[in-house]
Structure 1
Amino acid sequence: MATYTAFHHHTRIAAGSLIAVAERCKAFLDADPNGMPIVYDDATGRPVDIDYRGSTHDVLARLATAEPAAARRGPGRPKLGVVAREVTLLPRHWDWLATQPGGASVALRKLVEAARRETGAADEVRQASEAVDRVMLALAGDLPGYEEASRAFHRGEVGRFDELTEAWPVDVRDYVRSMAARVAA
């Protein structure tokens, strides 16, 4: 299950499912209309846009009916999750694909699955590292020791990273460290 974390400046105000976090952020905004919570996807470190207009019920209803990007209707076989997109290849690549059993789509799916099996673990580490970078820049980019902490993170110097992040606001420090620990695991 996907998890999310919301911050207002350097203070964590919610963590959990998107619905739970959105509900808490809406209550926060109702109490402080000038507040500006930012919700992060814990897996990607990307901010999530939530429309807080209306009542809490309105906010949650919009989230419940929001269509995931992968499920949008279009060319392909959407019920199976197959989506048509453009691929640019050289003529020799198209020629090779045309000779493959099942056609270009089957051959490309097989190649992608083979590549995912080969590089899956490395891709997960890279994506987790990118998530740490995004969150750390957004939440701690203006904090003392940010640049050196970032370098220590990328060098895998856990002790140095912990030392440099120790003075950061506790919620930011703990969140960034928990994300960084997923990379090291």
Structure 2
Amino acid sequence: MGEAPPRQYTGFAGHRRIASGELTEVALKLQEWLGRGESAPISLFEDETGNPVDLPLRGTREELLASLARKRARASEAQEVEEARKPGPGRPKLGVVSREVSLLPRHWEWLNGQPGGASVTLRKLVEEAKRAGQGADRARRSREAAYKFMYAMAGDFPGFEEASRAFFAKDVERFDQLIQPWPEDVREHLRKLVARE
């Protein structure tokens, strides 16, 4: 199985988009922009989640690169710790971990009567639910990311409340009409995030 594509980020100075791409690339462009003596506030967002990213952009290029390296190392360490956590009962070599599930007696009765027993049936039900809900989960995460960005960058814009209502009602035409007066770079990035749904 191939590696996931690198996460994408977008950086703004005020309401002007400065760069989009991988974190290091965007951070360096924002730092370069600041180095020219510009004064608009800097905002950096992870596109997939809409979460803001805080980086020390005012230092030197080397300090920024060192900070990014530490950030990646911490993320890698956290992942290793998570993977190394000692599994509880189950079949750890197969990736099976035992946990408690609370069900009503009639549910247990039905599960135990299924071919393969309760565990096999629960695994099948979970896999089926995951497959069925994959698109909906992806759309929900995309909507959450778009709204986080919209709130952070446009929360004080005229028409924000109405645009939010249109956004959540999935009234694309009305939403597009309401965000039309907003600064172009904010509007276009928001449209890009909404289109990922």
Q: Residue type of the partner of 1:153?
A: F
Aligned to 1:44: 49
1:88-167 matches, cutoff 5 A = 89-90=101-102, 112-167=126-181
Counterpart in 2 of 1:28?
33
Alignment-mate amino acid for residue 102 of structure 2? L
Letter in 1 for 2:43: I
CA distance in 2, matches of 1:71, 1:115: 29
Equivalent of 1:57 in 57, 62, 65 = 65
Deviations 1:48-70 (A, max 9, x none): 23344553432443345342444
The list of structure 1 runs, each at least 4 consecutive aligned residues, that deviate by more than 6 angstroms after superposition, is 106-109
- The Cα RMSD (Å) is 3.6
| Aligned position for 1:72 | 81
CA drift of 1:160 comes to 1.3
Partner of 2:10: 5
- Which residue in 2 is equivalent to 1:169? 183
Q: How many residues matched? A: 176
Greater mean alpha carbon deviation, residues 153-162 or residues 117-126:
153-162
Alignment CA distance shift 1:13-1:72 (3 Å) = farther
The 1:72/1:65 distance shift into structure 2, 3 A limit, reads: same
- Give 5+ residue unaligned stretches, structure 1: none
Query: Which amino acid in the other structure matches residue 143 of structure 1?
Result: F
Query: Which digits, 9 at most, give the CA deviation of each residue in 1:31-88, with x for residues without a partner?
Result: 34865422111111111233445534324433453424444354147xx9x7x9xx67
Contact kept, 8 Å, 1:22 with 1:60, in 2: the verdict is: no
Q: Which has the larger radius of gyration?
A: 2
Q: Does the 8 A contact of 1:28 with 1:35 survive in 2? A: no
Helix, strand or coil at the partner of 1:45: coil
Segment drifting more, 46-55 vs 137-146: 46-55
Task: Please report the TM-score for the alignment, with normalisation by the length of structure 2.
Answer: 0.70
Contact 2:56 2:64 in 1 (8 A): no
Question: Tell me, which stretches of 5 or more residues in structure 2 are unaligned?
Answer: 88-92
Amino acid across the alignment from 1:22: A
Cα distance between partner residues in 1 of 2:38 and 2:126: 47
**Percent identity of equivalent pairs:** 38
SS across alignment from 1:48: coil
1:72 counterpart SS class? helix
